[in-house]
Amino acid sequence: MIILETRGLKYAYPDGTVAVQDLNLEIKKGKKVAFVGQNGSGKSTLFLLLNGTLKPNQGEVLFHGVPFKYDSKSLRDIRKSVGIVFQNSDDQIFAPTVYQDVAFGPANLGYSKERVDTCVQQALEYVGLSRLKDKPPHHLSGGQKKRVAIAGIMAMEPEVIILDEPLSNLDPAGADEIMELLNEFNHFGSTIIISTHDVDLAYRWSDYVFLLSNSKIIGQGTPADVFKDTELLKKTGLRQPTTLEIYNEIERRGLASGGNSPKTIPELVNTLKPIDLMWVDVPPRVREGDNLNLGVMYGQYATQSPYEAINATVLHIHPDGRAIVELKRKGIKAGGVLIYDTDNYSLPEIKQILKEGEIVFVGAMGKKSKILAEQDGVRLDVSSGVIDKTILMALCGKRCLILTAGGMVDHAFKRIKEYVETSGIEFTVGVVSREEGCQWLEQTKDSSETLKI
């Protein structure tokens, strides 16, 4: 379903500078969309047009298929539904305290005092700033200010959240937190639109990418398609994402194969193998293209984990009965990932899981879980890029625990599950559920099953 759409959009500033011209785009509901382009390519102006703050000279913007009207009541509805977070938080936060600033939007929507209060508390809880609600903005760090700005928009419960350069001036940890937050909103159904000139971010994070150059859209599509086109990227003055560039180089040298535009480091690592060919003796009835089960191998034949179940596809059969097969290996004794929902948090339980599950690697996602872990002295091995790093650890046969809450539980589970399915490397992944007790040790051996704990 298309939520935002523009048709023949043109906007020039009063001094004649054309900021956006002939823009036709469609943004689907529930997607993570990135606008990528150099500085001055018209991203910020486009965003102000999408929110109704600027009125186009030509063309129209449509929300749920209905063209924007620019009378004050329609504008109010649009601005409630399409929230915008500015690049510089100081431009956006104008109230003397955090609470007052977040309450500004809901109060303008005419909510009752109690409802405003619930909205604000929820938004602040969400971004992990409840404890700072009475602070003045000038006592906050850059990352905290950004989160206040996001909470201010969140509190109005918009369907679309637009963020102009959300990661500018943030340190890596702060940037990870913001992106995690955005993923969480998206998980609950919000459409997220960001602008960035960080190609790595756009490539890794988004579902759909628009390339902007000189106030026009010169390319769009899934990140894998858009960033494959080096000619197009050259035109916009951007470079290829690092993971993609590395992959292209190692593929050219025959060191990797089979990866279809790896986005994350685990995906990249997974491509790091040349095509695995072997001579085998085959029974006479086997044809080319058949699948063979070669059984379990170990020792020098198992290259990726101690024991491997190997399937093979027959590529070519020699007249003397020997055949060339392509091997597909499945590790049997890899590690596992356990996800713990901190909404029902208890420290003794975590300690028990850590001990009985022989967990060597702990990560936390989301501000709330990180604060909990910090308070109770649970040692965190990783607090940013958690999913990727736990996958990498699990691949090395380690057992990992992820502490997280709310929608992030499903999100993490889905991501890891997807990885297991697409890579063919099996390791256990499961969500801690209390009803069935803690039986993770016995069940790790049937590694292909999803672990029930």
Partner 1 sequence: MTNILDDYALMSPLRHRNNWLKLAIVLFGLLVGVSSTSPVPPLFIALCMSFTTVALGRAPLKLYLKLLLAPVGFAVVGILIIAFFSGSGQELLSFKLVGYPLSVRKDGLELALLVLARSISGMCCLYFLALTTPMIELFAVLKASRFPEAFIELSMLIYRYIFVFLDMALSIRYAQTVRLGYSSFSRSLRSLGMLGSTLFVRSWEQGDKLFLAMNSRCYDGKMTLFEVKRPVGTSELLLTSAYFLLTLALLYLTKNASIV
Binding site residues, partner 1, CB under 8 A: 48, 51, 53, 76, 79-80, 83-84, 86, 88, 90-97, 99-100, 103-105, 107-109, 113, 116-117, 134-139, 152-153, 156
Q: How far is the CB of 95 from partner 1 (least distance, A)?
A: 6
User: Residue 80 or 187: which CB sits closer to partner 1?
Assistant: 80
User: C-beta of 146: minimal distance to partner 1 in Å?
Assistant: 14
The b/e string for 309-328 (b: 16+ C-beta within 10 A; e otherwise) is: bbbbebeebeeeeebbbebe
Tell me whether residue 47 or residue 361 sits nearer to partner 1 (CB atom): 47
DSSP string, 172-183: HHHHHHHHHHHH
**Counting beta carbons within 10 angstroms of the beta carbon of residue 163, is it exposed (0 to 12), middle (13 to 18) or buried (19 or more)?**
buried
DSSP characters for 193-216? Answer: EEEES-HHHHHHH-SEEEEEETTE
- Rounded CA Rg of the chain: 26
**Shortest distance in whole angstroms from residue 137 CB to partner 1:** 7
Residue (137 or 266) nearer to partner 1, CB = 137
Report the nearest approach of partner 1 to the CB of residue 313 (Å): 57
Helix (H) or strand (E) holding 326: strand 322-331
Q: Is 52 helix (H, G, I), strand (E, B) or coil?
A: coil
Q: Which of 408, 453, 35 is nearest to 219 (CA)?
A: 35
Please say which residue, 95 or 371, places its beta carbon nearer to partner 1. 95
CB of 124 to partner 1, least distance (A): 13
CB of 23 to partner 1, least distance (A): 20
Count other Cβ atoms within 10 Å, centred on residue 391.
26
Closest to partner 1 by CB, 76 vs 235, is 76
Find out whether 163 and 181 touch, Cβ atoms under 8 Å.
no
| CB 194 to partner 1: min, Å | 16
Q: Which is nearer to partner 1, 116 or 416 (CB)?
A: 116
* Three-state secondary-structure class, residue 352: helix
**Least distance in angstroms from the C-beta of 344 to partner 1:** 31
Residue 126 CA to residue 181 CA, distance in Å, equals 8
- Could you tell me if 120 and 103 are in contact, meaning their C-beta atoms sit under 8 angstroms apart? yes
Q: Select 151 or 403, whichever has its Cβ closest to partner 1.
A: 151
Residue placing its CB nearer to partner 1 in the complex, 153 or 201 = 153
